[in-house]
């Protein structure tokens, strides 16, 4: 890498989407590891007061403006944590395709080959057969606008990296849980409905017979920090726990940590309608080899932290 990050936590790391659920956690992880942080998002949030903050819609910013921002703050690397669930096709294209293109152009305009860590998604691969361990060599075939736009943005950054204009790594993360994760996710919706349950009431939840890989957002943030100094460039690295967990089991854990009587909650079988099909399980061996990373936080601890954070006054961010 052609930046001073190769010698340790020096320079400033810009985090795009710093008010979102992933971005805020990446900012906190960077701060703990001695990095200076430039938080970038459309609007500030209470937790951004811990960092230098610039309000900016990167998807609408020209290369010159973005390059000037990166130079003015001595930015040596960028983590792109923008994007979100539950948005329209137009918004997904803006966040997942247009923004990475503008980011690459802005980084290239600095004249420095900046490390760009793209927070990608396991859904860029598209649905797979049950039992498949998804490796980085799996041929992508996303069938949803979310997966297709996320893949397009990642592929553009990788192409710019191979051309020598930036130094990119793409982290394709599985579904995320843990503190401050988005309420637009399935588990986020479940947590909201559990909190809204009146004493003595009952709740019916539709749960698909699917098995999915989940990783705590703090473990994902740790992978992003490790990726800043990882060797190599133009690589895709899968981030997950490497376990396909039944969705019903995750709901059961969330009910348990909520303290609600399990007898008050009924799980009703439902069809699989999500972005990832009925199965996701990431092969995370490359993350261990290249990043020196492995997941540390058990799912029950992650869901407990998610439940506790959901009761906090400040709402979690979505897209940053």
What are the boundaries of each domain within the chain? 7-178+214-241+277-299
Distance CA 48, CA 30 (A): 13
Closest to 26 measured CA to CA, from 162, 219, 176, 193: 219
Confirm if 30 and 127 have CB atoms less than 8 A apart.
no
Averaged pLDDT, 29-40: 96
Distance of CA 117 to the CA centre of its chain: 11
Residue 232 has pLDDT above 80, yes or no: yes
Residue 320 has pLDDT above 70, yes or no: no
- In this prediction, what percent of the chain has a pLDDT beyond 70? 92
Confirm if 78 and 58 have CB atoms less than 8 A apart.
no
Averaged pLDDT, 314-318: 45
Confirm if 256 and 264 have CB atoms less than 8 A apart.
no
Averaged pLDDT, 85-99: 88
Confirm if 245 and 214 have CB atoms less than 8 A apart.
yes
| Per-residue pLDDT, 317 | 45
Closest to 240 measured CA to CA, from 291, 190, 316, 189: 291
Residue 5 has pLDDT above 70, yes or no: no
Residue 146 known to be catalytic:
yes
What global pTM score does this model have?
0.92
Phi, psi of 40 (to 5 degrees): -125, 125
**Per-residue confidence band for 277, with pLDDT thresholds at 50, 70 and 90:** confident
The residue written with tokens 């703990």 in the block is 32
Q: Long-range contacts: 46-50, Cβ < 8 Å, 24+?
A: 46/314, 47/19, 47/314, 48/18, 48/19, 48/24
Distance CA 296, CA 126 (A): 26
Give the tokens for residue 132. 């498949």
* Per annotation, catalytic residue among 53, 85, 125, 146: 146
Averaged pLDDT, 117-124: 98
Phi, psi of 225 (to 5 degrees): -65, -45
| Per-residue pLDDT, 4 | 40
CATH of domain 7-178+214-241+277-299: 3.40.50.720
The 10 Å CB-count burial string (b at 16+, else e) for 116-131 is bbbbbbbbbbbbbeee
Residue 41 has pLDDT above 60, yes or no: yes
Q: Which of 64-73, 85-94, 222-231 has the lowest mean pLDDT?
A: 85-94
Per DSSP bridges, beta strands 235-239 and 167-173 are parallel
Instruction: Give SS3 for 16.
Output: strand
CA quadruple 49, 173, 93, 48: dihedral, nearest 10 = 0
pLDDT tens by residue, 153-175: 999 999 999 999 999 999 999 99
Give every CB contact of residue 28 below 8 A, 6+ residues apart in sequence. 47, 50, 221
Rg (CA), the chain: 19
Residue 68 Rama label (left phi>0; alpha psi -120 to 50; beta): alpha
Residue 184 has pLDDT above 90, yes or no: no
């Amino acid at each position: 890498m052609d930046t001073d990050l190769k010698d340790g936590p020096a320079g400033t790391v810009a985090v795009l989407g710093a008010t979102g659920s992933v971005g805020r956690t990446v900012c906190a992880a960077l701060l703990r590891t001695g990095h200076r942080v430039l938080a970038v998002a459309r609007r500030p949030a209470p937790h951004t007061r811990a960092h230098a903050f610039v309000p900016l819609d990167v998807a609408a910013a020209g290369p010159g403006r973005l390059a000037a921002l990166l130079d003015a703050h001595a930015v040596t690397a960028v983590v792109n944590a923008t994007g979100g669930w539950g948005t329209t096709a137009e918004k997904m294209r803006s966040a997942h395709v247009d923004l990475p293109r503008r980011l690459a152009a802005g980084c290239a305009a600095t004249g420095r080959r900046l490390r760009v860590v793209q927070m990608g998604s396991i859904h860029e691969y598209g649905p797979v057969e049950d039992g498949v361990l998804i490796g980085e060599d799996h041929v992508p075939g996303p069938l949803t606008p979310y997966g297709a736009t996320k893949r397009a943005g990642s592929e553009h950054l990788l192409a710019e990296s191979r051309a020598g204009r930036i130094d990119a790594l793409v982290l394709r993360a599985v579904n995320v849980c843990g503190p401050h994760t988005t309420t637009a996710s399935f588990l986020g919706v479940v947590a909201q409905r559990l909190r809204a349950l009146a004493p003595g009431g009952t709740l019916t939840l539709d749960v698909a017979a699917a098995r999915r890989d989940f990783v705590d957002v703090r473990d994902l943030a740790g992978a992003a920090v490790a990726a800043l100094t990882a060797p190599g460039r133009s690589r895709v690295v899968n981030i997950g726990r490497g376990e396909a967990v039944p969705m019903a089991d995750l709901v059961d854990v969330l009910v348990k940590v909520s303290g609600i009587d399990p007898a008050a909650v009924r799980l009703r079988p439902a069809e699989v309608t999500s972005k990832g099909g009925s199965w996701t399980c990431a092969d995370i061996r490359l993350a261990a080899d290249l990043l020196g990373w492995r997941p540390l936080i058990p799912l029950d601890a992650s869901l407990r932290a998610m439940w506790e954070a959901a009761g906090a006054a400040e709402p979690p961010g979505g897209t940053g």
